Amino acid sequence: MIQAIGVIGSGTMGNGIAQTFAQHGFDVRLVDVSAPALDKAKATIDKSLTKFVDKGALSAADRDATLARLHFSGSIDHLADVDYIVEAIVERRDAKRDLFAKLDALVRPDVVLSSNTSSISITDIAAATTRPEQVLGMHFMNPVPLMTLVELIRGQSTSDASMELAESLCTRLGKTGVPASDYPGFIANRILMPMINEAVFALMEGVGTAEAIDSVMKLGMNHPMGPLTLADFIGLDVCVAILDVLHEGLGDPKYRACPLLRRMVAAGHLGRKSGRGFYRYA
Ligand code: NAI
């Protein structure tokens, strides 16, 4: 029975993943190399849980119990006896492979190691360990406490048992695990990013204004958010990075990032996080 979860990386995704596991009764150890990032994660989780309480979706006692199940640390040494790992550190192949090699030497041989990577090959990460059959992708969506999808990515060697375990954990979190193969962008970004990129090309060519493009997709296609608004939310630098992975990995020019998207990133207009993207944020 899985009870103790190690989450590594306490940024945008890691703190949401840690909160979600803790809300569903798991003991969570959240590790980050950056002390300010851990402090920020604590504050973010506190705020998010309090929002649930204010909305009547969580009792104050459940919030306190959730917080008591969360432990913060600056070192992976505190993960030696966990039952399951979710890695959510920076999206860099070398950093992930290095961490997985260390985790492989640290945790029990039966423990499954999962990565929240958006685009790096699970097979490649798994090859840094001696247990590739127990490595898979567990790709949560942002914001994690609210979004119900988790893409479960099967690497070349991932066993059925590891996939089944991850799927059962998704169920315990009240989420739906959907299996995907280890190809660049998996399912979500393979389909989402070309749509966002096409919206940027349409803007660049003057087919419509940003507002017009977003309105068409919202009102005409029933999307809850237009593609340019969504790109601002994801971060335009992240969009370019994922498109580059699709372009390089699949070799088709249809995945090349729109020059306007690259120009905006070069200008520091990264979306919400920088206060300016396709829209301005106060
Ligand atoms: P982030 O930049 O907000 O957080 C990353 C955290 O990892 C930072 O706090 C950093 O200090 C920490 N870190 C870096 N190296 C570390 C190490 N070796 N050991 C421990 N901590 C380390 O990044 P974000 O956005 O949370 O992304 C994390 C992962 O989740 C990436 O693989 C990304 O592709 C993926 N992802 C991101 C989504 C998003 O909407 N931001 C959506 C789905 C997946």
Q: What does the DSSP assignment read for 81-132?
A: T-SEEEE---S-HHHHHHHHHHHHHHS-TT-EEEE--SSS-HHHHHTTSS-G
- Mutating to test ligand 1, I would choose from 10, 13, 122, 243 the residue with most ligand atoms within 8 A of its C-beta, which is 13
CATH no. for residue 34?
3.40.50.720
For residue 137, the cross-strand partners are 115, 153
Q: What is the pLDDT of residues 59-100, one digit of tens each?
A: 999 999 999 999 999 999 999 999 999 999 998 899 999 999
| pTM, 2 dp | 0.93
Can you tell me the distance from the alpha carbon of 21 to that of 11, in angstroms, rounded to the nearest whole number?
Answer: 15
Question: Do 31 and 137 lie in a common domain?
Answer: yes
Question: Do 120 and 218 lie in a common domain?
Answer: no
Q: State how far Cα 78 lies from the chain centre.
A: 23
Strands 4-8, 27-31: pairing kind: parallel
Question: Do 164 and 215 lie in a common domain?
Answer: no
The reply to whether 279 falls in a domain is no
- Which of 129, 149, 181 finishes a domain? 181
Per the rule left: phi > 0, alpha: psi between -120 and 50, beta: everything else, 185 is left
Report yes or no: 255 and 191 within 8 Å, Cβ to Cβ.
Answer: no
Residue 139 CA to ligand 1 center (angstroms) comes to 12
Q: What is the mean pLDDT of residues 25-34?
A: 98
Model-level ipTM above the cut of 0.90: yes
- Which of 153, 181, 209 finishes a domain? 181
pLDDT of 21: 98
Report yes or no: 79 and 52 within 8 Å, Cβ to Cβ.
Answer: no
- Which of 181, 199, 224 finishes a domain? 181
Question: Do 32 and 170 lie in a common domain?
Answer: yes
The parent domain of residue 37 ranges over 4-181
Is 32 annotated in some ligand binding site? yes
Question: Do 109 and 164 lie in a common domain?
Answer: yes
Question: Do 73 and 168 lie in a common domain?
Answer: yes
Question: Do 40 and 159 lie in a common domain?
Answer: yes
In whole numbers, what is the pLDDT of the chain averaged over residues?
97
Q: What is the pLDDT of residues 164-214, one digit of tens each?
A: 999 999 999 999 999 999 999 999 999 999 999 999 999 999 999 999 999
Query: How many separate domains does the chain show?
Result: 2
- Measuring from each residue's beta carbon to the nearest atom of ligand 1, which residues come in under 6 Å? 8-14, 31-34, 37, 88-91, 95, 99, 116-118, 139, 142, 234
Is 13 annotated in some ligand binding site? yes
Report yes or no: 13 and 118 within 8 Å, Cβ to Cβ.
Answer: no
Torsion of CA 160, 162, 164, 170, to 10 degrees: -150
CATH no. for residue 196?
1.10.1040.10
Can you tell me the distance from the alpha carbon of 121 to that of 38, in angstroms, rounded to the nearest whole number?
Answer: 27
The reply to whether 165 falls in a domain is yes
Residue with CA closest to ligand 1 atom 1? 11
Question: Do 39 and 98 lie in a common domain?
Answer: yes
The reply to whether 260 falls in a domain is yes
Question: Do 155 and 198 lie in a common domain?
Answer: no
